[in-house]
Amino acid sequence: MADSSDARAEFRFRRSPSGETYLASHYAPYPFHIARVLHPDPGWPDLPTLCLQSASGGLFQGDRLAVAVEMGEETVAQITSQSATKAHGMPRRPAMQTVALNLDSDSYLEYLADPVILFPASRVSSSLRIRIAPGARAIARESFLHHDPAGSCDPAFDLFVSAVSVEDSAGALLALDRQRIERPGDHDEVREALRHHRAQGSIYIVGAEPTPELLTALRDVIPQNDELYGGVSSLPHGCGAYARVLARDGQTLRSVLDLAGAVARRIITGRSTKATWRK
């Protein structure tokens, strides 16, 4: 089994005198890795995209991994990941991953993490904190799915804990979304729900007014059928909106979250593209 990692990656975006956003500083120790910043979106050529990669092969027992992103005033950026993250078996100690997104005034960030894949006996605690100054907006998502290499559809992971919080620039809590799923195979109702919908994800549109247009558009991209089940709501204190989706598999989930993100981007920024929105 791989040794556990204790690492914190940091990224700071700033605005140049000409108005372009650039990566002003970064620190990405093992197991984090980044390549150069790209501008792949023809619909928004000034939007820099940073792909955050891992060199470790997943989450292992005892990992403590943190990511901190700082968006300067009037900056724009998109952060993606290379692929889904495998969470391996953890018989003794859980893995923890923490993400802190700090947005200065009038900045914009898309944080588009791929799912965590929960393998048998995995135990993962995930925390996402979004701190927004006036005028800042963010689109962020969190998701997971479970997988058993032996071919069983039953959820065999031991624990998944998630906390997503939204704060104002002074650190006052505006919204908190928490869930805890522990040994789902021991609970008939939870086991059956996760057998049918093996992937779950949420997308948060933060700092944007939860208008009827935004809420309706999000609902329109989540069909209710045997493969999908979801809901849309405004966040407390008028700080945004979110959608939660249960899906048959990871591909179905990602497709819906991609559509929801594209719709949200168009409504809150006026930007759209014919290219694939995710990468």
Residue 41 phi, psi dihedral angles, 5° rounding: -95, 110
Give the Cα separation of 106 and 219 in Å (integer): 27
What integer pLDDT is reported at residue 114 of this predicted model?
A: 95
User: How would you write the pLDDT of the chain (279 residues) with one tens digit per residue?
Assistant: 456 789 999 999 999 999 999 999 999 999 999 999 999 988 899 999 999 999 998 999 999 999 999 999 999 999 999 999 999 999 889 999 999 999 999 999 999 999 999 999 999 999 999 999 999 999 999 999 999 999 999 999 999 999 999 999 999 999 999 999 999 999 999 999 999 999 999 999 999 999 999 999 999 999 888 889 999 999 999 999 999 999 999 999 999 999 999 999 999 999 986 544 343
pTM of the model: 0.94
Torsion angle of the four alpha carbons 220, 224, 227, 233, in this order, in degrees rounded to the nearest 10: 70
What integer pLDDT is reported at residue 275 of this predicted model?
A: 41
**Closest listed residue to residue 103, CA positions, set 181, 231, 31, 208:** 208
What integer pLDDT is reported at residue 279 of this predicted model?
A: 36
Q: Which two tokens stand for residue 113?
A: 């993490």
> 245: exposed, middle or buried (C-beta count within 10 Å: 0-12, 13-18, 19+)?
buried
> 65: exposed, middle or buried (C-beta count within 10 Å: 0-12, 13-18, 19+)?
buried
